[in-house]
């Protein structure tokens, strides 16, 4: 099947060079403007007429200083609004200290797309299959939202309100993602089921972060976090499955039990990519596989 691209709909293109200018434009054209960062999702949708064209397109790529990745032993990891997916996947500090996020970034799209797309854009699109969302959920991230009225922090779990919907207002932009430090002994795994690995959206995405009691993964688990993507209206934490594992020493029987509970917590739909039944079964498989990899 050939997808026919028509000319982009008409809009006024604006290119602010400072954050204050961008926020001013958002306030001025409230409800009539869209932000453009990487554009890897927005531009194709505009071409295919899948979304209504805005009257104004505000390109924030020229704003200096928003592509940072910083780490501090006290404040944790900070990711700027223009940090690319490629920068996330290749960052030495993220690969070492937050491997689940690096794995999720690596699983996305093509090299060309990862060089252009931003992690902020990935979560602002708010599709249930967003790869970085489950990873950020397990890392208990929070996001800084900015407007001319000021700034506010929102936990990533509260950021998504529905398919392609977030708490962002028409005057706000996501300015920063903050991830608290985890013990050096933790492990993180992101597993993605898709027809062509990175080239397709996730049919199911599973992120698991685990912290052992004494730094040994054959010992008791002090903390376990499991997040699921593409199996509910928003990315979700599998909290009942986590509770089964927390404070326990993992064995095959316990892993099977947690995977079954995670399957029950999933709320997928039937669509052209997979049935709800299949997605639930794959949640079971991937949660089990991730936990097995953590203790291996």
Q: What pLDDT is attached to residue 152?
A: 98
Q: What pLDDT is attached to residue 198?
A: 55
Of 151, 179, 146, 183, give the one whose Cα is nearest residue 71.
179
Please give the CATH topology (third level) of the domain spanning 12-59. 3.30.43
Q: What pLDDT is attached to residue 1?
A: 40
- pLDDT at position 60 over 60: yes
Q: What pLDDT is attached to residue 86?
A: 97
* C-alpha–C-alpha distance, residues 124 and 130, integer Å: 9
Asked which of 138-142, 211-215, 224-228 is least confident by mean pLDDT, the reply is 211-215
| Sheet of 150-155, strands arranged across | 69-72, 76-80, 173-179, 142-147, 150-155
Higher pLDDT, 66 or 50: 66
Of 258, 265, 220, give the one whose Cα is nearest residue 242.
258
Q: What pLDDT is attached to residue 34?
A: 93
Q: What pLDDT is attached to residue 255?
A: 95
Domain residue ranges in the chain = 12-59, 69-179, 187-295
- Token digits of residue 153: 């922090």
Please give the CATH topology (third level) of the domain spanning 69-179. 3.30.465
Q: What pLDDT is attached to residue 52?
A: 83
Where residue 200 falls among pLDDT bands split at 50, 70, 90? confident
Return the CATH class of domain 187-295: alpha beta
* C-alpha–C-alpha distance, residues 146 and 152, integer Å: 7
Of 225, 189, 178, 157, give the one whose Cα is nearest residue 79.
178
What percentage of the chain reaches a pLDDT higher than 70? 96
What percentage of the chain reaches a pLDDT higher than 90? 81
* C-alpha–C-alpha distance, residues 105 and 38, integer Å: 15
- pLDDT tens digit sequence for 92-146: 999 999 999 999 999 998 899 999 999 999 999 999 999 999 999 999 999 999 9
pTM of the model: 0.93
- pLDDT tens digit sequence for 253-296: 999 999 999 999 999 999 988 999 999 999 999 999 999 999 88
Highest mean pLDDT among 34-43, 50-59, 173-182: 173-182
Where residue 53 falls among pLDDT bands split at 50, 70, 90? confident
- pLDDT tens digit sequence for 4-19: 445 656 789 999 999 9
Tell me the C-alpha to C-alpha distance, in Å, between residue 129 and each of 163, 202, 276: 10, 5, 14
Higher pLDDT, 50 or 169: 169
Q: What pLDDT is attached to residue 51?
A: 81
What value does the mean pLDDT of the chain take?
93
Q: What pLDDT is attached to residue 9?
A: 64
- pLDDT at position 216 over 80: no
Q: What pLDDT is attached to residue 44?
A: 82
């Amino acid at each position: 099947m050939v997808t026919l691209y028509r000319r982009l709909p008409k809009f006024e293109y604006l290119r602010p060079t400072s954050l204050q200018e961008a926020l001013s434009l958002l306030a001025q054209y409230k409800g009539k403007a869209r932000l453009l960062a990487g554009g890897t999702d927005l531009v194709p949708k505009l071409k295919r007429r899948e979304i209504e064209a805005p009257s104004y397109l505000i390109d924030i790529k020229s704003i200096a200083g928003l592509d940072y990745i910083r780490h501090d032993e006290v404040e944790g990891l900070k990711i700027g609004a223009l940090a690319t997916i490629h920068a996330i996947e290749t960052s030495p500090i993220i690969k070492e200290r937050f491997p689940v996020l690096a794995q999720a970034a690596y699983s996305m799209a093509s090299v060309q797309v990862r060089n252009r797309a931003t992690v902020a854009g990935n979560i602002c699109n708010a599709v249930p299959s967003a790869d970085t969302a489950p990873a950020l959920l397990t890392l208990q991230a929070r996001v800084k939202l900015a407007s001319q009225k000021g700034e506010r922090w929102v936990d990533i779990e509260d950021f998504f309100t529905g398919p392609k919907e977030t708490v962002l207002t028409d005057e706000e932009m996501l300015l920063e993602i903050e991830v608290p430090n985890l013990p050096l002994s933790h492990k993180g795994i992101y597993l993605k089921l898709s027809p062509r690995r990175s080239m397709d959206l996730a049919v199911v995405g599973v992120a698991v972060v685990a912290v052992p009691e004494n730094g040994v993964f054959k010992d008791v688990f002090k903390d376990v976090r499991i997040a699921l993507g593409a199996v509910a209206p928003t990315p979700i934490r599998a909290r009942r499955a986590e509770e089964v594992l927390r404070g326990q020493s993992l064995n095959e029987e316990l892993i099977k039990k947690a995977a079954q509970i995670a399957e029950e917590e999933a709320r997928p739909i039937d669509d052209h990519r997979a049935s709800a039944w299949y997605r639930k079964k794959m949640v079971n498989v991937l949660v089990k596989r991730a936990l097995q990899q953590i203790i291996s």
